[in-house]
Structures are given as structure tokens and as C-alpha cells.
Amino acid sequence: MKNLLWRNLIIKTVILALLPVIIGIFGSIAVSTLSLKWCIITGIMILLYTLYLIGNCFYERKQKKHESWHDAITNLCREDCTLVKAYADSIYKLVNSKIGHAEISNWSIVKNHCDAICKIVYNFIQSTALKGNEFSVSVFFRRTLGGENQYIMLSRTSYDNHNPASYNVFRTEEEVKSYYYKRLFDEAITRPAILSGKEAIRAVFYNCDGVDYSQYIGIPVACLGNKMIAILQIVSYNNSLIAKNKEEIQKLVDDYLWGYANLVLLADKVENAVSCFSNGSKQ
């Protein structure tokens, strides 16, 4: 209810449009009748209208200040996102130039980092969501072992604290062939996959795990050369909504969520470097 008189556009329009008219009518009556009562009423109306205009002025200034803070924070998040990506890429280039590629040997460390990232993103979505509170945030990785691709839901935070049977288990291409995240890996997406309505959801989640989804975001995690290694996935369930439409979701991703996808990349590259140098020191 705070600031409702200035925040609500309908109330604001009614006051700004009608109150001067009412003051004019009351003023005309006061002048024509020379009645003390109507003079007092008109004076009170003028005072209330003046106070409203002063309050509106303070509210508008406050909103502009908030907007400037929002713009500054958004720019900071985008700059941090770029720096994290650049740092991860530099680690990747250094490791490959010195030793070469080595598969991560200790996934539990990467999982600990991704668990923390999922919780942060989950809390952010809960606090900014348009509607409801039924959301989940997950991180999927793909690795190559013996020439075969394998997939894992490494981390997950969910409103119901439930993890599927496939959680934290590497699965074969055959086992995940019908899952949407597998399709995103195959397509090597470079932009977020956003499904903002149930029609879009039903078009891709056939005979799979999307029956209760209301919105979906799949943010690619890719290193140099757009080599996709992971997906940061955000899902809303049972009519809960992350944002109103695809455009608003895209802005949310661009302004805030890309940075967390890059933190997943950084966690992978740091542990990859550790694995590489550990293997190199044993030789």
C-alpha cells in the first residue's frame, strides 16, 4: 500500500485529471455565493492537491534514483560476467598450451561450486518471479569418456527439495536421447533457449519430463570456439511464472543470469586445470 497514490497509474490519472476540475467547480461556487463554507472547502482541496503534487515530485525523484541504481547494478553485473568469461577462457588457453586437455577427475569439487550457484540463482528467481514460487535450477554437464558422450544433472535446487533418479549420475546418449537438454547440447546453442508459455513447452517436451512446466530457460555454458560443456537450466512449474513474456525473460538472462552461467564455466575450467597439472606432475 506504500506510495499507492503515486505508484498506481489509474489513481494517479484520476487525481491529476479530476481534482483540478473539482477545485474549479468548488471555487466557482465559493465566488458566486461568497460562502465561507465553500471557501474553506475549496482551500482544503487546493491544499490537498498541492500536497499531492509535492508527494508526486518526491516519488518521481525517488524512482529516477532507483532506476539509476538499477542501471548501474545491471552494468556492473554485465561487466563481471565478461570478466569471469575472459578469466575462464584464459585458464582454458593456458592449460591447453602447456599440457593439453584432461578430463576432470574430481567432479565433487565442481558439484560443490555448482550447488552454490544453483542456490543463488534459485533465491534470485524466487525474489523476482512474476507469479508463484515453484521453480527449480539445475546444471547439466556433458563429458566424453572413451569416445562416447555422457550426461549428468550435477546440481539442482528445487522448491520441493526433490531430485530425480537421474540426479548426479552419468547417463549415456541412448538414455537421454528424448530429453530437451540433450537436444540443446546437440544443437550447440549460443543463445539461451527460452520457452515462455505452455504451447512452446508442449512443442518440445513430448513424452518426457516437461508435463508440469510453465516456463523454461536453458542457458548454454560454452568455452572458446563455442564448445558447449554445460547448461544452466531454470524451470517454473504449475503456472508459476519467471516473467511475463519471452522478451522479459531474455532481459533477465542478459542482465543477470549470464554471469552465473559463466561461473559454472569458471568452476569447470579451474578444476580442469587442477586435473591437468595433477596428471602432469605424476608423469
Phi, psi of 222 (to 5 degrees): -135, 145
Model confidence at 237, pLDDT cuts 50, 70, 90, reads very high
User: Over 70: is that where the pLDDT of 283 sits?
Assistant: no
What's the CA gap between 267 and 270, in Å, rounded?
A: 5
pLDDT tens, residue by residue, 69-117: 455 555 555 555 555 566 556 655 555 555 555 567 778 888 988 998 8
Counting residues of the chain whose pLDDT is more than 90, the rounded percentage is 30
The Cα-based distances of 225 to 93, 268, 278 in angstroms read 11, 16, 25
Other residues' Cβ atoms within 10 Å of the Cβ of residue 139: 29
- Which pLDDT score, from 0 to 100, does residue 122 have? 93
Cβ-based neighbours of 206, under 8 Å, separated by 6 or more? 178
Element housing 265 (H / E): helix 258-282
Helical H runs in 129-193?
173-176, 180-187
- C-beta separation of 276 from 99 below 8 A: yes
Tell which wins on pLDDT, 67 or 213: 213
> How confident is the prediction for the chain on average, in pLDDT?
78
Reported as a pLDDT band with limits 50, 70 and 90, residue 278 is: low
11 Cβ neighbours under 8 A, 6+ residues apart? 4, 5
- Cα separation, 283 vs 112, in Å, equals 28
Flag whether pLDDT at 185 surpasses 90. yes
Say how many CA atoms lie within 13 Å of 7 toward its Cβ.
6
Closest CA to 139 of 49, 242, 218, 249: 218
The pLDDT, as a whole number, for residue 15 is 72
Cell digits for 167? 540426479
State the average pLDDT over residues 206-214.
Answer: 65
What is the CB-side half-sphere exposure of residue 187 using CA atoms within 13 A? 15
Pairing label, strands 227-237, 213-223: antiparallel
Select from 161, 157, 81, 154 the least CA-distant residue to 122. Answer: 157
pLDDT at 243: 93
For 264, the grid coordinates are 559454472
Kindly give the pairing relationship between strand 148-158 and strand 135-145: antiparallel
Average pLDDT over residues 144-161: 91
DSSP 190: S
